[in-house]
Amino acid sequence: MNPSNSDVLWAKIRLAENRLHAASDFFWSHPHLSEMLPTFLVQLHRVMQGGITLMRVARDQALARPGDPVANIIAPYLLQHIDEEKDHCAWLLDDIETLGITPQEVAEATPLTSVVSLLGAQYFWALNIHPVAVFGYLIVLEGYAPIAEQLEAIRIRTGLPGTAFRCLIAHADNDPHHLADLNHTLDSMPLSPEQQEYVALSAFHTIDAVASVFEELLDLHTTSGQSKLGILTASYG
């Protein structure tokens, strides 16, 4: 029996995941996490906001390929997933505001270069290669989010209000279901060897870029010595 598309992908992901584990573990266990977490949440809002637009682009690209059996599976899945995720940016914005950061400050925050890389590569693949590549991105993000028990331990350790974690906890509750849907949808696709490669390349880049997000946040904290809002709006000149 041949392995499923998701089995093939996860076998490849497991070969590359150590970099992401190392960066995320160092970030979440950092003694100054309470100072960095507001900045992390603002950058996460950038990722979530950009991710909704990315899925719309990938959906539109799939709809533009009516004779493509893979695209015909992608479009309805993304339509449903966009609807599931559409309110999450507003939820996270509400959480961030409880930390004293206004929606305007979030909107004006400079995105990390790693965040731009994370999303920018996916736009390139969706627009110029094939929208199926977005599944590598989505599977990594859904598969490596903190679980609810970890978030509760982080809340206690940082002393930050529980209101700052509401969106993260909601994601932790929903991500196993979303990941199962992603794997099932990927398995239903008649992927060519080239399309399997696109999905794997997307997953590898996502692992590298998310690890870079954690590392860039740590670098900003180490080198800037600025307040959280100063870090959010710092230029890179």
Task: Note whether 15 and 74 are within 8 A (CB).
Answer: no
pLDDT in tens, 196-218: 999 999 999 999 999 999 999 99
- Considering the domain boundaries, does residue 37 fall inside one? yes
Question: Among all chains, which residue has been given the structure tokens 């960095």?
Answer: 36
Half-sphere exposure of 180 (CA within 13 A, CB side): 4
> Per-residue pLDDT for 232 more than 70?
no
Q: Model confidence over 113-146: pLDDT tens digits?
A: 999 999 999 999 999 999 999 999 999 999 988 8
- Does some domain include residue 25? no
Look at residue 26 and tell me if it is in a domain: no
Helix or strand (DSSP H, E) at 93: helix 88-97
Residue at 54 is within a domain: yes
Q: Looking at the domain assignment, is residue 111 inside a domain? A: yes
> 137 and 120 in contact (C-beta within 8 Å)?
no
Q: Which domain holds residue 92?
A: 33-232
In a domain, 9, yes or no: no
Contact 117, 209 (CB under 8 A): yes
Structural domain total, the chain? 1
Residue 153 pLDDT > 90, yes or no?
yes
| Residue 30 pLDDT exceeds 70 | yes
- As a whole number of angstroms, the distance between CA 185 and CA 201 comes to 18
Question: How high is the mean pLDDT of the chain?
Answer: 91
Contact 169, 43 (CB under 8 A): no
**pLDDT tens digit sequence for 80-98:** 999 988 889 999 999 999 9
The answer to whether residue 28 is domain-embedded is: no
Mean pLDDT value of segment 17-21:
95
Calculate ∠ Cα 30-157-24, nearest 5°. Answer: 35
In a domain, 16, yes or no: no
pLDDT of residue 225: 52
CATH of the domain at 37: 1.20.910.10
pLDDT at 173: 73
Query: Token digits for 12?
Result: 């490849």
- Other C-beta atoms lying within 10 Å of the C-beta of residue 105: 16
